[in-house]
A and B are shown apart, each in its own frame.
Chain A
Amino acid sequence: MKVSKCKGMVDLLPLDMTKFRHIEQVFRDSCLKRGYDEIRTPTLEYLHLFTASGTLTPDMLGRVYSFLDWDGWSGERVVLRPDGTIPAVRLYLEKLESDKITKLFYVENTFTFEETGSERRERWQCGAELIGSSEPLADVELMLLATEVLRELGIGPLMVRLSHAGLIKTLLAELGLGAAEQTEIFDRVLEGDIKALGAIKTDNAELERALALLLDVKGISPEFVGNVRALLGKALPNFEPSLNDLASITEMLSAMDCPYEIDITSGRGFEYYTGIMFQFYSSTERVGGGGRYDDLIPLVGGPPIPASGFALYVDRLMDMLKMEAISYQRVLVKPLASDMSVLKTSLETARLLREAGYITELDLGQEKPSGYRWLLSMPKHGLFQLVDQVTGKKSKASSQAEVLKIMEESN
């Protein structure tokens, strides 16, 4: 019986880690350049942070890893972080709250139980939160940040699918549904039930026409929002704020040539969304998502501060990332004698080569050295011997400087 990893958990192998770090680096650089600050929240949080209504959907709450901590005799549970945004908001309220705009980002794992164990139960995400602005420009900035990261990673063709939590909530209210039913249908949309909205019947002709348009047509310009507005007519003023918001956002996205599609059934994720919801797709694969969550900070006990954010799904990006075989210039330094002077020269040479940017290892008894561009042998007397594994060319050098020169000339 071999010892194996836990069901639903994933090992990241050397190539996976190379991809992981590459994604992380591109994301971090893009965030830092825009003035976002990095944070990291703890893996364990109190369960009650997530149980308030309007945070996680009941389906998500039913799949969290909750348990009693070593001091949990009161029966109050802790949870392995199931989401990145709510802990970030908790951290903001506990440590950072101010009247300024706060921009935060993080690379964190989240844990969600999945029954079969064939999918990941631990997932990694690159998340960004923009706290303190209610402007559509803030949402657009987040979308542009995400698409820029995806483009730099070579992920594409990109498509941003837009939905609007405010619009859906107004729709459900105008359709005359009770509060519990509104929440239930909104949750079903968020959990991916694209038929949830279509099944609702209404006697209101304006509403019916507008709903049909929203469900049947995927808008690709701000004009679509105008068309919806025309069908709704002046009789339904409650839709105005959401439609204005959607119009401003799509105008800006069009101006920036960001490809998008308005699809109200596309919203995914969290009950805490209040405004625009955006999902990032590469072809049919969803690689990230986010939205505006103006009510979340008050829900977890803070003042009414608006906020918006997104997360990119690192695991999916790793699967899609095409990385050329890593073309590092690796060197293996092999001392041919074990006396101190040879070892000293070998170690010093290795250090100089590293300083010059080569990945340099000392031969510790590899049987068949592979994966190295250069093999450098250090004899007790006489010249250094250098073999270029790519061309098979053998050279001799009398000094470290000469070794470096040969290597550089070969590139």
Chain B
Amino acid sequence: MKLALPKGRLLQDTAALLEKAGLGLTGYNESARSYRPTSTKFSDLFPKVFQEKDIPIQVAIGNYDLGICGLDWVEELLAKYPSGDLVKVGELGYGKNDLYVVASRYAGVSSVGEINNGFEKVRIVSEYQNLAELFALRQRLRRFSILPIWGAAEVYPPESAELAIIAEASVGSFAKYDLVPLARILMSKAVLIANRNSLAKAAMSKLLTYIRTTEAVTEEESPMPIVMGGRLKKLPKDDSVIRLALPDGHQQRPTMEFLKEAGIGIRGYSEPLKTRRPAIDMNGTSVKVIRPQDMPSQVANENFDLAVTGEDWLKDHLYRFPSSPAKKILGLGFGRVTIVAVVSEDLPINDVNQLRNQVGRLLVTVRVASEYVNIADKYARDNHLERYKIIPTWGASEAFLPEDADLLIENTETGKTLSKHKLRVIETLFKSSACLIGSNSALSDPIKRGRIEHIIKIMEETAKRG
């Protein structure tokens, strides 16, 4: 019996639930370094820890019999692939995380009905791109685009998107972002899910008895809670302001240090992050903190003039959109990683040719897991891995090998994590470090060009010294 368990947000409550159920799990807690907890009670139970978002797909394709995750990610999968083998067994009574469609307080709309008249074209950012598309089609939005992002949706409206679709535990949290909720499209809690075929034939009754679900998953009408706040007038747009995007996550600390080295003062860009709109001591420049993965497409769409991201993410973007205007301006030298192709040490494979021969001989489908979907796709294509499928992951990718993927395209700093997980590097794809990116149109803008060149010059000098 294989059970997929969530990392992150739901971990603590899920661990408590399983503890109460008497599963006797060891190694499933915040500080555990392993992704494979063990059960003292059920010797045939194989639990594995995933990013929450990965769990519905793992259960739907039958890699796991049971899984626990938020209903939001289940519905996100079902929105695009309704005919899969995923069954919602029941709610678990914790992990409230409702999905809201929100707009900026400054956008001048206060209900869903006003969207079509309020905006000529509607850009929707969300981590939930399938639910976002479903919403747009159901609302008959006339002209829309969906910008799938890795996170930080709350900082996009109004400048970079008209609407965002965001999961929050309470509707009250939007006020601090200056956002107005227009609709609640899903009420979500943690759910127990199962694979249809497993339910149909495998003996799971014990486990199903132990993990008590509080109630069936209901598709209830979700009335919009009343929110105080209301709308404000549209803000005047200042076309001369330079819009700079800075990264959160692993790249935040070295970026902070780099800016300090460059003598650029910035308030609020600290750990932990206090605001996604820190103030920078540089005239006519505004800063937003977003995920580095999202920056290339944001720069291509002219939502930002400059952004500090990794060469890896720029490459991933350009492989998907070869004619994108996003381009590297300057290497910054910090945040060095190596992008490698990795297999399990259990496999007798030392290079990609051996992998290809193995695939050709056994006529199997190679499962390639990666956060870098487009880099992984190109690698598999260029190396003629005849039958392959890409499994997108959202972190913790090294846990996929060997059971749930055959090949991993991953970044590594020192290689320690890889060897700890018994993984073998079969090829180095390229080296990557932080870089400043921009688009041609921003660089040729007569009003902005002077200021942009000034920022580039400061950064260039700092990078040279560093």
Residues in A with CB closer than 8 Å to B321 are 70-73
With an 8 A cutoff between CB atoms, is A355 at the interface? no
Q: Which of B138, B141, B145, B323 contacts A74 (CB 8 A)?
A: B145
Interface string of B319-359 (1 = CB under 8 A from A): 01111101000000000000000000000000000000000
Q: Looking across the interface, which residue of chain B has its beta carbon closest to that of A46?
A: B143
Q: Which of A51, A73, A75, A115 contacts B317 (CB 8 A)?
A: A73
Residues in A with CB closer than 8 Å to B140 are 51-53, 58
- CB neighbors of A among B176-213 (8 A): none
Bound together, the chains give a CA A75 to CA B133 distance in angstroms of: 11
Distance from A305 Cβ to chain B, minimum over Cβ atoms (Å)? 20
With an 8 A cutoff between CB atoms, is B146 at the interface? yes
- CB neighbors of A among B362-376 (8 A): 363
Q: Looking across the interface, which residue of chain A has its beta carbon closest to that of B138?
A: A58
B145 touches A77 (CB 8 A): yes
Q: Which of B143, B147, B297 contacts A51 (CB 8 A)?
A: B143
Size of the B side of the interface (Cβ < 8 Å), in residues, is: 28
- Mostly helix, strand, loop or mixed at chain A's interface? loop
Q: Which of B136, B142, B324 contacts A52 (CB 8 A)?
A: B142
Residues in B with CB closer than 8 Å to A325 are none
Bound together, the chains give a CA A51 to CA B138 distance in angstroms of: 10
Q: Which of B123, B138, B324 contacts A71 (CB 8 A)?
A: B324
B301 touches A73 (CB 8 A): yes
Residues in A with CB closer than 8 Å to B136 are 51
Q: Which of B134, B138, B143, B323 contacts A70 (CB 8 A)?
A: B323
With an 8 A cutoff between CB atoms, is B169 at the interface? no
Q: Which of A48, A76, A116 contacts B142 (CB 8 A)?
A: A48
With an 8 A cutoff between CB atoms, is A153 at the interface? no
Q: Looking across the interface, which residue of chain A has its beta carbon closest to that of B148?
A: A75
Which of A52, A66, A74, A116: most chain B CB closer than 10 A? Answer: A74
The size bracket of the interface on A is 20 to 34
Q: Looking across the interface, which residue of chain B has its beta carbon closest to that of A183?
A: B140
A58 touches B145 (CB 8 A): no
Distance from B76 Cβ to chain A, minimum over Cβ atoms (Å)? 15
B137 touches A62 (CB 8 A): yes
Q: Looking across the interface, which residue of chain A has its beta carbon closest to that of B325?
A: A73
Bound together, the chains give a CA A345 to CA B141 distance in angstroms of: 70
A70 touches B137 (CB 8 A): no
A75 touches B145 (CB 8 A): yes
Q: Looking across the interface, which residue of chain B has its beta carbon closest to that of A271?
A: B140
With an 8 A cutoff between CB atoms, is A61 at the interface? yes
Bound together, the chains give a CA A62 to CA B79 distance in angstroms of: 9
With an 8 A cutoff between CB atoms, is B106 at the interface? no
Bound together, the chains give a CA A260 to CA B321 distance in angstroms of: 53
Distance from B97 Cβ to chain A, minimum over Cβ atoms (Å)? 24
Q: Looking across the interface, which residue of chain A has its beta carbon closest to that of B324?
A: A73
Residues in B with CB closer than 8 Å to A48 are 142-144
Q: Looking across the interface, which residue of chain A has its beta carbon closest to that of B149?
A: A75
Q: Looking across the interface, which residue of chain B has its beta carbon closest to that of A50?
A: B137
- CB neighbors of B among A1-55 (8 A): 1, 48, 51-53
Q: Looking across the interface, which residue of chain A has its beta carbon closest to that of B134?
A: A62
Q: Which of B82, B137, B297 contacts A58 (CB 8 A)?
A: B137
Residues in B with CB closer than 8 Å to A66 are 133
Bound together, the chains give a CA A116 to CA B301 distance in angstroms of: 37
B142 touches A53 (CB 8 A): yes
With an 8 A cutoff between CB atoms, is B83 at the interface? yes
Residues in B with CB closer than 8 Å to A77 are 145-146
B143 touches A115 (CB 8 A): no
Bound together, the chains give a CA A53 to CA B141 distance in angstroms of: 8
Residues in A with CB closer than 8 Å to B320 are 68, 70, 73
Residues in A with CB closer than 8 Å to B326 are 73
19 CB-based A-B contacts, threshold 8 Å: A48-B143, A48-B144, A51-B137, A51-B143, A51-B144, A52-B142, A68-B320, A71-B323, A71-B324, A73-B297, A73-B301, A73-B320, A73-B321, A73-B326, A74-B301, A75-B148, A76-B145, A77-B145, A77-B146
Q: Give the 6 A-B residue pairs with the shortest CB-CB distance, closest first.
A: A75-B145, A76-B145, A53-B140, A73-B300, A48-B143, A75-B147
B residues with a Cβ closer than 8 A to A are 82-83, 123, 133-134, 136-138, 140-148, 297, 300-301, 317, 320-324, 326, 363
A residues with a Cβ closer than 8 A to B are 1, 48, 51-53, 58, 61-62, 66, 68, 70-77, 115-116
